[in-house]
A and B are shown apart, each in its own frame.
Chain A
Amino acid sequence: MPKLLGKILSNLFSKPSTIQYPFENPGLVEGTRGELSFDMNICDQCQDCERLCPSGAISVDVDEKKIEWDPFKCIYCHLCVDNCMHKAITALDHVKSPDYKLRKKIFER
């Protein structure tokens, strides 16, 4: 019983384990793999990211100097971010929010 009393008291005065989600945001921890952003002023269309991508989420149009990135195919492994020679791909500090349509993101010069 004394053990149980201790447990009851600690539960009574401790903070709740959960948070009220829409009103409170837990935030992201340091190092979360976020959404991608392509800087087309630095990119030289070498297509390394397209070749490396395990899920085929990136397609580079060399003639039109355009990159299409599919956030729904992307597995956020960040291979492209780590391997881009010119550091033209940056990882943002937020994750992709859900969407109603399967639309791609287009980056143009």
Chain B
Amino acid sequence: MKPTAVGDVIGMSKQTSEIKCSVFPFGPQHPVLPEPIQLKFVVQEEKIIDVLPQIGYIHRGIEKAIELNDYRRNIYICERICGICNFQHGMAYSETIEKLTDTMVPLRAKYLRTIWAELTRLQSHLLWLGLFSEGVGFESLFMSIWKIRERVLELTERTGGHRIHLSTNAIGGVSKDMDEKLINHYYSELKALRKEMDTLAPVFYKDKAFRAKQEGKGILPKKDAVHLAAVGPTIRGSGIPQDMRSNFYEAYGMLDFQPITYDSEDVLGRTLVRFDEVYQSIDLMEEALKQMPEGPIQEKNTMFPEGVAIVRVEQPRGECFYYGVGNGTIHLERMRIRTPTIPNIPPLLHMLKGYEVSDIPAIVHSIDPCIACAERITYVDKEES
């Protein structure tokens, strides 16, 4: 780290540029980061003064691909925006097309979508809890959590045929059904999952070393969380019960659902929100499996998409927004997808300021960054390239 006058390098305000600081890049490839984002940290000794993000390393042009493709084939592209929350992407896309074509979804399909959306949330949260534990130095906890996650992956494979991608969405419902044998298998696996999570609960709630890494770090006050438009567990960790599932899409209106919030406003709050949501997902799945009625699973749509539709669903990382415009042809006029990592980047920059370099992994992980889904725009310097 070579001390420089920072203002000349990154174009900062004059007041900050007068302080002797160091700038070091974090990413786009770094052991702590699973995906490519670059954060340039301006530090004074060990204290972080400013953070400058740069995205655009993994732009894939997905929105354009969706517009060029047949609207019936797009579910599979949408599911591949994010591997971890694949089902919610497919579901949000299907809902958008169902709104554009006035298709009614059968009740059983709504329940099945709710169950599988919660299954995806389970595997995503367990993945995050493992990665976070490793990020703060608890490697055996990481292995224990991923061992539990294997149960969820096995359920996913039994349901859809693949370990991660469920690929069971279809326009007008779902493409696969669950028989009695599979439902009973779900009950037994969820029971075992809850039992195994109980053995890990004392580490998250009581372990002093684990809490010391998180307590009082990355504070995001309530007011700033709202002002910077944070979403998902990031805002719920600051005590605001903002959850798209409260809008009662699919079958959530018929289930007993209350958003989980913590008032601690720090990294620990966000961790515990996710840990409690694992239990909440298990409860919601069990309740939905009990209530699920018999009946058809798919309604055929006969129209081409026409008009404008907006869909908001709750992904493991927060609110996901789909905006679709149809013009009565086989291609969509416009498709806009905003994934939850984009609104969570400004709160992350706010959280990092004032903390030490050793706190970076815990704070960066606390928003659960998923950069590959967030890339919607890239910047090319004409003169340089």
Contact = CB atoms under 8 A, between A and B. Distances in A.
Interface residues of A, number: 13
B167 interface: yes
Specify the main secondary structure of chain B where it touches its partner: helix
B259 to A, nearest CB: 33
Interface string B153-169: 01001111110000100
Nearest to A53: B73
Contacts of A33: 160-162
A17 B147 contact: yes
Q: Which of B75, B162, B175 has the most CB of A within 10 A?
A: B162
Contact of B161 (A17, A32, A55): A32
Contacts of A54: 73, 75-77
A31 B73 contact: no
Contacts of B160: 31, 33
A69 interface: no
B158 A31 contact: yes
A75 B76 contact: yes
Interface string B61-98: 00000000000010111000000000000000000000
Contacts of A75: 76, 167
A55 B77 CA distance: 9
Nearest to A18: B147
A31 B161 contact: yes
Contact of B158 (A17, A29, A77): A29
A86 B260 CA distance: 50
6 tightest A-B contacts by CB?
A: A33-B161, A54-B76, A54-B73, A29-B157, A77-B167, A17-B147
Specify the main secondary structure of chain A where it touches its partner: loop
A30 interface: yes
Nearest to B161: A33
A30 B178 CA distance: 13
Interface in B288-310: none
Contacts of A76: 161-162
Nearest to B185: A30
Contacts of A66: none
A45 to B, nearest CB: 21
15 contacts: A17-B147, A29-B154, A29-B158, A31-B157, A31-B159, A31-B160, A31-B161, A32-B157, A33-B161, A54-B76, A76-B161, A77-B76, A77-B167, A78-B161, A82-B175
B8 to A, nearest CB: 49
Interface in A72-94: 75-78, 82
Interface in B143-191: 147, 154, 157-162, 167, 175
Interface string A46-83: 00000000110000000000000000000111100010
Interface string B205-224: 00000000000000000000
Contacts of B159: 31
B158 to A, nearest CB: 5
Contacts of B162: 32-33, 76
B72 to A, nearest CB: 8
A78 B167 CA distance: 10
A29 B175 CA distance: 19
Contacts of A31: 157-161
A55 B76 contact: yes
B205 to A, nearest CB: 15
A31 B162 CA distance: 9
Given A29-B157, A31-B158, A77-B76, 6 more contacts: A29-B154, A31-B157, A31-B161, A32-B157, A32-B162, A54-B77
Contacts of B167: 75, 77
Contacts of A77: 76, 167
B119 to A, nearest CB: 15
A19 to B, nearest CB: 12
A77 B160 CA distance: 9
Nearest to B153: A29
Q: Which of B75, B160, B161, B167 has the most CB of A within 10 A?
A: B161
Contacts of B154: 29
A77 B175 CA distance: 11
Interface in A1-44: 17, 29-33
Contacts of A29: 154, 157-158
A75 B161 CA distance: 12
A3 B13 CA distance: 56
A46 B177 CA distance: 28
B76 A30 contact: no
